[in-house]
Amino acid sequence: MKVWFIGIKGAVATTILVGVLAIKRGLSAPNGILSEEKRFSRLNLARLEDLQFGGHDIRGVTLYDAAYRNVSDNSTFDTMQLAELKGEIDSIPVKCGIVNNCGDAISSLCDNNTLTLSKAVNQVSQELCQFAGDDSCVVVNLASTEPYFAPQPEYATLDSFEAAVKANSKKIPASAIYAYCAIKNGLPYVNFTPSMGNDIPAIKELANTLGVPHCGKDGKTGETLVKTALVPMFKHRHLTIDGWYGSNILGNLDGQILRHPDNKQSKLITKTSVLPRMLGYEPHLGSRIDYFPPLSDHKVAWDFISFKGFLGHRMNMQFTWQGCDSILAAPLVIDLIRFMELAQRNGARGLVDPLAVYFKDPLDIDVLDLCSQYTLFNEWIEQF
């Protein structure tokens, strides 16, 4: 089975590559990968040793050097053992990605000239098809967060979207082009980022018409995972949340990109929108994301929750979350790759709602609390 990563030289993608190759070599165990549990063995999921990788990236650094820097900066894998994997990493095909309407923070990382949207579609489609061939192939967006684009009602139909592509619209970012190219070529697509990607009615229509499964958006790895577990606790005890403030610091390339206000807005929307949707009312919300280079790929979140109980008495709760972003994200992406191939093999069409448990802002579904999402996921798995 084949996997194409958009942003293959990033921390999450290189962690997955190193991890899967290390597991193949017996240098590591598949810890943290839900789909490795025995209950999934009957599903004939793609084996880790059968995964073949390729991807797009806009940076000039070699894939091995990107992996080496990620591993050494974060002490996530032994660099001497990584050297044993160099030949396999060097053989992974990598193509130059596109940066259409990605904003200065991202486009400044790429020396290539921006293509028109029509040329970008042709190039990306050709490269995806050449890689996939006749094999099963899942496309996963792991690229840096693009600037926020409000929903575009003028792209409600496929005809209007394709006309906008021909007109080289400034309102269609690279993530939407990748999603469009994957789906129109029959390849399941996962948007693990807060970027627009497949969150366009025209692309959803195309996926339904062609019978291609897709899901997203923004992987739920840390602070928001805790939020979606805690909010039901307050609701079940009839405790009113008056306010929820979260402060986040991180030091990787994502943190560097998120210093830019337009890019940060995309992330803040997915991080804060879940609370009012779960509660049914909107408490006072505050959220910060700050770049702190010494953390590298690690991140720290501090949350303060103000709530009221009996007699209107005000109380509070605080928690701190610390983790390595790519180590948290990598097993989730591996699960999604396997489950998307399972979905396609079993005739799924369009959005795969039961995979909402993996996302901060799952598309077009109102099941947001963690336990209910797992129930939905488990019911889906049981039907196979």
Per-residue model confidence as pLDDT tens digits over 23-81: 999 999 999 999 999 999 999 999 999 999 999 999 999 999 999 999 999 999 999 99
Split at pLDDT 50, 70, 90, the class of 270 is confident
Q: Using 50, 70 and 90 to split pLDDT, how confident is the model at 114? A: confident
The H or E element containing residue 95 is strand 94-96
- Measured distance CA(93)–CA(298) in Å, rounded: 28
Cβ neighbours for 201, distance < 8 A, ≥ 6 positions apart: 155, 156, 157
Specify the pLDDT at position 197: 95
Do 196 and 173 meet the contact criterion of CB atoms below 8 Å apart?
Answer: yes
Report, as an integer, the average pLDDT of 316-326: 95
Q: Check whether 324 has a pLDDT greater than 80.
A: yes
pLDDT of residue 153: 79
Q: Which residues of 339-361 are buried (b: 16+ CB within 10 A; e: fewer)?
A: bbbbbbbeebebbbbbbbbbbbb
What's the DSSP call for residue 65?
H
**Percent of the chain surpassing pLDDT 90:** 90
Strand 52-57's sheet: what is its strand order?
A: 94-96, 52-57, 2-6, 137-141, 189-191, 213-216, 350-351
Could you tell me how many residues make up the chain?
384
288-289-291 Cα angle (round to 5): 140
> Spelled out in words, what is the top-level CATH class assigned to the domain 2-219+327-382?
alpha beta
The pLDDT of residue 152 is: 76
Query: What pLDDT band is residue 307 in, cutting at 50, 70 and 90?
Result: very high
Contact 61, 67 (CB under 8 A): no
Name the band, by pLDDT with cuts 50, 70 and 90, for residue 319. very high
What φ, ψ does residue 211 adopt, rounded to 5°? 70, 45
Across the chain, which distance is largest between two alpha carbons, in Å? Answer: 67
Ramachandran class of 91: left when φ > 0, alpha when ψ lies in -120 to 50, beta otherwise = alpha
Distance CA 21, CA 89 (A): 9
Provide the 3-class DSSP secondary structure of residue 6. strand
Q: How many CB atoms lie within 10 A of CB 255?
A: 21
How would residue 272 be classed by pLDDT, with cut points 50, 70 and 90? confident
Count of beta carbons in the 10 Å neighbourhood of residue 73 = 14
- What are the start and end residues of each CATH 3.40.50.720 domain in the chain? 2-219+327-382
CATH 3.30.360.10 assigned to domain 223-323? The reply is: yes
> How does pLDDT run across 196-248, given as a tens digit for each residue?
999 999 999 999 999 999 999 999 999 999 999 999 999 999 999 999 999 99
Q: Please choose, from the candidates 141, 314, 135, 298, the residue with its C-alpha nearest in 3D space to the C-alpha of residue 219.
A: 141
A 10 A CB-CB count for 167 gives: 12
Domain with CATH 3.30.360.10 in the chain: 223-323
Give the chain's mean pLDDT: 95
The pLDDT score that the predictor gives to residue 252 is 86
How far apart, in Å, are the Cα atoms of 58 and each of 126, 197, 325? Answer: 17, 17, 21
- Measure the CA–CA gap between 173 and 179, rounded to whole angstroms: 10
What is the DSSP-derived secondary structure letter of residue 312? G
For the chain, the distance separating the N- and C-terminal CA atoms, rounded to the nearest angstrom, is: 20
Comparing 12-21, 258-267, 369-378, the range with the smallest average pLDDT is 258-267
Distances (CA, A) of 82 to 70, 75, 99, 328: 11, 12, 30, 20
Q: Which helix (H) or strand (E) holds 212?
A: none
The pTM of this model reads 0.95
For the segment 348-367, what is each residue's pLDDT rounded down to a tens digit? 999 999 999 999 999 999 99
**Is the pLDDT score of 95 beyond 90?**
yes
